[in-house]
Chains A and B, each alone.
Chain A
């Protein structure tokens, strides 16, 4: 069966520090991969999605970037964190057609 892993579960980082959040999927090939951010009272916002290795689509211009170095690996990064980057980050995957996400357990990022 397919599983999705996200780590770390929680992270506290100072302003200006770099960020790397990792997401991996097991048990499937060629998944579509997504990064969402959930801010308090604002629902979930799509940040990036990828339909293949090296293919990244950005939904919202911001301080973050994403990469997909391997088929089942999706990385969210920042060179210098801002206070406004705090939030709950969720990775998700879907089959090629794209309908029906499965979410990871999320990473709670606090920038101090």
Chain B
């Protein structure tokens, strides 16, 4: 069955440090992949997406992600974390279904940023 795994439930980094959030997916075909960010009590905001082409994709807020087919991974990175990046991050894969796509989400990684 298709699935998305985010192995880190919580991550704590110091402000200014680099960040990598892991995401692994299980899907037989070429995946459409997404990273979303959620601030407490809010909806989800799209950070970036991968459909095809260049495997390194740039997103908003200085985030980037790299698609590695051989590792079935789509890890999110940021070279220098800001305190405002503290939030929960969700990786998702879009699966084709009747007339649309449904998203399978990982369980999320909660990021804490130390001043």
Question: Which residues of B have CB within 8 Å of A59?
Answer: 102
Question: Which residues of B have CB within 8 Å of A57?
Answer: 97-98
Given A98-B99, A98-B101, A100-B49, A43-B90 contact (CB < 8 Å): yes
How many chain A residues have a CB neighbour from B under 8 Å? Answer: 28
Number of A-B contacts (CB under 8 A): 65
Query: For the complex, would chain B's binding face be called helix, strand, loop or mixed by DSSP majority?
Result: strand
Q: Can you name 26 A-B pairs with beta carbons within 8 Å? A: A6-B43, A32-B100, A36-B105, A41-B107, A42-B107, A43-B107, A44-B103, A44-B105, A46-B102, A46-B104, A49-B97, A51-B98, A57-B98, A96-B100, A97-B101, A98-B94, A98-B96, A98-B99, A99-B94, A101-B44, A101-B46, A102-B46, A103-B36, A103-B44, A104-B43, A106-B43
Task: List the interface of chain B (C-beta within 8 A of A).
Answer: 9, 32, 36, 41-46, 49, 51, 90, 92, 94, 96-108
